[in-house]
Amino acid sequence: MHYIGDKFLNTMLLILFLFVSLLFLFSGGGIVSAETVEVTGHHISRESLLERGELTAEIDIENLTEDDREIWLGYSLFDPRGEWHDIEPGKIKIRANSGKTVEIAEEIFPGAEILAGEYLFVAAAWDEHPEDGGIRLSDMRKREKITAEDGDRVRERDKGEDEDLGLKFSGHEFLKAGHRLGRGWLNPENVKLENQRLKISSPADSLQGGEVRTEDYFSYGSYSVKLKSDYAPGSFSAFFLYEDVDYKNDEIDIEIYNDGSRQIDFVTFVEGEKTNHEKAELPFDPASDFHEYRIVYLPDRINFYVEDELMASFDSDLPDDEMRIMANHWWPNWLEAERKQPASEIYIKQLDFQELRER
């Protein structure tokens, strides 16, 4: 009886200890910390942008950890032409459990006119410089619309204006991207043409990627690519159509998971909002060889094919704008990824477009 009583008493004490521990844990008792630095606000001067082409902003950051931190704070602007303008990230020191406001000012459009349209402003905190493989800790986004009535320097966008060309492949002129995306940096140096094949690389231990897009815009038709992915868990190999005119873009995506799972996503966006999504499993290893992936973009339907087999089809909430042909290798925030990664490359050896002709 004493044995049973002691055992019962010990059990009750253990339950009481667990209860008190949980009560302390969820009451903010200090055992759990957010362990991050957050961007909590940013304020933009429209006057500076409109009058001088200068991006002036105040960024509020907060250190939610118990330790003093050094972080990299960056700022980017996405303009109506589909171009990113990046302010070089700077190192910021912030004390434990405290906040700080950082002021930035840099000419983005020196001596140039301002394009009318919607602008996206992004403030982001990184644990290291993004070009060195830094991981994004937090960001905050703000949209501002600028019209021709806002000032004398503002003009309407001309969709056909010239841009510098990056490379030519499969008969199309391509541009190399150079901006942040997901966990890392899309570096133009990671895109090369080798032996008539397009190579998009992610250097070791960097979480960098690369991206290309056509100079021209395309409408309804059949788009295909012969692509070989790589094993790089936490990253995507993607072939997609993207309106690329402001932040509320139409988009049609094929996204291959580079984690050996053979998973693939088929997605559409309308004005920046996801409208269709279907996940499937490929019958082969996409990193073992080149395989053909195809988007058939029609006014009333979008079909996705892999090696001529229909994998997904959507017939509602469809994009209807002209878009650029794009491909990339990148590291999205919502997939788990270790910074220590071997180098990886995806290869494209053929890209075709056949316009839909009305009968």
Using the predicted structure, report yes or no on whether residue 79 has a pLDDT greater than 80.
no
Q: Are 299 and 320 in contact (CB under 8 A)?
A: yes
Retrieve residue 40's tokens.
């909590």
- Provide the pLDDT for residue 158: 46
Retrieve residue 281's tokens.
């499993």
SS3 for 3?
Answer: helix
Residues in contact with 57: Cβ distance below 8 Å, sequence separation at least 6, in sequence order = 42, 43, 44, 45, 75, 103, 104, 105, 121, 123
Q: What is the DSSP string of 270-296?
A: ETTEEEEEEEEE-SS-TTTS-EEEEEE
Retrieve residue 204's tokens.
């070791």
- Provide the pLDDT for residue 105: 87
Topology of domain 166-355, CATH: Jelly Rolls (2.60.120)
- Going by CATH, does the domain composed of 37-150 fall within 1.10.10.1590? no
Using the predicted structure, report yes or no on whether residue 95 has a pLDDT greater than 70.
yes
Long-range own/partner contacts, residues 282-286 (CB < 8 A, 24 or more apart):
282/256, 282/306, 285/260, 286/227, 286/228, 286/229, 286/237, 286/256, 286/262
Residues in contact with 176: Cβ distance below 8 Å, sequence separation at least 6, in sequence order = 166, 167, 188, 191, 210, 211, 212
- The tokens 């991050």 sit on which residue? 36
- In which element (H, E) is residue 347 found? strand 344-355
**Strand partners for 254:** 239, 266
Which of 335, 316, 249 is closest to 276 using CA atoms?
316
- Provide the pLDDT for residue 333: 84
Question: 189-216 pLDDT, tens per residue?
Answer: 899 998 889 999 999 988 899 999 998 8
Distance between CA atoms of residues 303 and 321, nearest Å: 16
Question: 277-336 pLDDT, tens per residue?
Answer: 999 999 999 999 999 999 999 999 999 999 999 999 999 999 999 999 999 999 998 898
Question: 164-196 pLDDT, tens per residue?
Answer: 445 777 788 888 887 778 888 888 889 999 888
What residue segments make up the domains of the chain, in order of their start? 37-150, 166-355
Residue ranges in 64-155 assigned as alpha helix (H): none
**What are the catalytic residues?**
251, 255
- Provide the pLDDT for residue 76: 86
- Provide the pLDDT for residue 178: 78
Q: Are 202 and 344 in contact (CB under 8 A)?
A: yes
Using the predicted structure, report yes or no on whether residue 356 has a pLDDT greater than 90.
no
Question: 201-259 pLDDT, tens per residue?
Answer: 999 988 899 999 998 899 999 999 999 999 999 999 999 999 875 567 899 999 999 99
- Provide the pLDDT for residue 187: 86
